[in-house]
Amino acid sequence: MRRKLLAALLAASVLLSGCNMSTEVNDKAYVIAVGVDKGSNGLLKVTFMFAYPSGGGDEAGGEKVDEKDIVTVEAPSIYSGMRLLDTFKSKRIDTNHTKLVAFSQELAEDRGVFSQLTDLVNTRGFRPSIYVCVTQESPSKLFNSMEPKQDVFIEKFIEHLFSKVAYNATSRAYLYNNYFSAVVEDGSYIMPLVGVTDKEKVKEAAEDYPYKKPDDFALNYTADEVPLHGDGSAALCGYGVFVDNKMVGTLGMMEGTIVKILEKNKNVGQFCVLYPDRDSYANVNLQLTNAPIVTVKTGDAPEIDIRIQLWGEFTGIGRTFRNSEDYESFVGYMSSAFERKTEELLERTRAEFGADILGFGDKAKANFLRYREWKDYNWKEKYKDARFSVHVEIDMNDYGELRFSQRK
């Protein structure tokens, strides 16, 4: 009898339960990206990009239906901007599927973005794994330039752009990583740089080539300098550099590759490399063999030693090597180029930015037994006098007869 009564109560609880708190998918307005820019009278200009659940493949009246809706409001914070949206948006605002938050370079240089990062971390609905970046243009211009050609949905375009980036360390793009760096690393950190390609800046960058025939080691584009012919498009390339939570400069494409190596990203990428006599190119795919070994000796002038071991394979060659010396010269050129570019980046962090944006302080802490001793050492000031030593070793995969071919 008790079992029958229990079964009846269970069936009643299922049948009598309602759906008063449920919300249909079509009753929500999904925020795919948020942009934050300087507004008037101390306010923020907050831009929201919405995506329709139906995607961008539907057609109406013979014309393609736009898959995104971009709205800009001025408000004291991101959250208050969301509340303003409720005054004219018929659907419930939902940020659970937000992929990207973009801060304008103007805002990052003038006020910094720490308070906005804090708002995002403390606001329910924004996941800590969303991507954050600095945009060289206004966020509204950036969002309008995002026209996916190979992705049906705009959110997939953003996800693919940030997760499969060639010249940046993906780990540096997450909200929680940037917030943690802003809090723990005394406000010194880097954030991915996004821009809309500018024809004039592309022309200026081309005039700065150090050689008439440059290779990938000579190119150091930022996002708006990527030489894309045709209409401007969103490009992810380089980093914005933050010191004391304000943006003070940028890192370019090759510098982003060095950061990627130091961040222990296994796949370094494809490189188009000139032969030492500059008569032809070879294409090389490089990967990290092991994590870089970083040693920090503390003193009046800290000594930072970095050892990088790469493994590579040829994916295409312009000509066969004349002899083993020709081959060794080519590999030596790549190793010395990586060493030179790494040292140049480290010198920029010390002399130009005056900040440890790459986190070598974590290694330096190991030299102190007590936290008070570490604080008294004043790493932030000591880093400005740091000396660097970089050694790069590249081991190329055997490629058969090409390595030992002889020209008679």
- Tens digits of per-residue pLDDT, 331-351? 888 899 899 999 999 999 999
Residue 262: Cβ-neighbour burial (10 angstroms; 0-12, 13-18, 19+): buried
Position 201 scores a pLDDT of 59
Average pLDDT for the chain: 79
Band of pLDDT at residue 293, cut at 50, 70 and 90: very high
Position 28 scores a pLDDT of 79
Distance CA 92, CA 290 (A): 49
Distance CA 304, CA 18 (A): 64
Band of pLDDT at residue 406, cut at 50, 70 and 90: very low
Position 180 scores a pLDDT of 74
Distance CA 156, CA 60 (A): 23
Beta strand pairing call for 246-251 and 234-243: antiparallel
pTM, full prediction = 0.81
Distance CA 151, CA 277 (A): 42
| pLDDT tens per residue, range 49-70 | 987 655 444 444 444 444 678 8
Does pLDDT of 296 surpass 90?
Answer: yes
For the ranges 85-89, 247-251, 255-259, which has the lowest average pLDDT? 85-89
Per mean pLDDT, which of 25-34, 187-196, 265-274, 361-370 is the most reliable?
361-370
Band of pLDDT at residue 194, cut at 50, 70 and 90: confident
For the ranges 48-62, 282-296, 367-381, which has the lowest average pLDDT? 48-62
CATH of 266-408, one of 3.10.310.40, 2.60.120.10, 3.30.300.210, 1.20.1440.130: 3.30.300.210
Q: What angle do CA 103, 109, 113 make, to 5 degrees?
A: 45
Work out the average pLDDT over 299-310.
94
Position 404 scores a pLDDT of 45
| pLDDT tens per residue, range 139-152 | 988 888 887 766 66
Considering all CA atoms of the chain, what is the largest pairwise distance in Å, rounded to the nearest integer?
A: 100
DSSP collapsed to 3 states, 90-153: CCEEECCCCCEEEEEHHHHHHCCCHHHHHHHHHCCCCCCCCEEEEECCCHHHHHHHCCCCCCCC
Distance CA 361, CA 367 (A): 10
Position 282 scores a pLDDT of 83
Residue ranges, comma separated, of all CATH 3.30.300.210 domains in the chain are 266-408
Distance CA 95, CA 25 (A): 13
Distance CA 128, CA 80 (A): 20
Position 14 scores a pLDDT of 56
Task: Please give the DSSP secondary-structure letter assigned to residue 170.
Answer: G
Position 82 scores a pLDDT of 85
For residues 233 and 196, the answer to whether their CB atoms sit within 8 Å is yes
Band of pLDDT at residue 24, cut at 50, 70 and 90: low
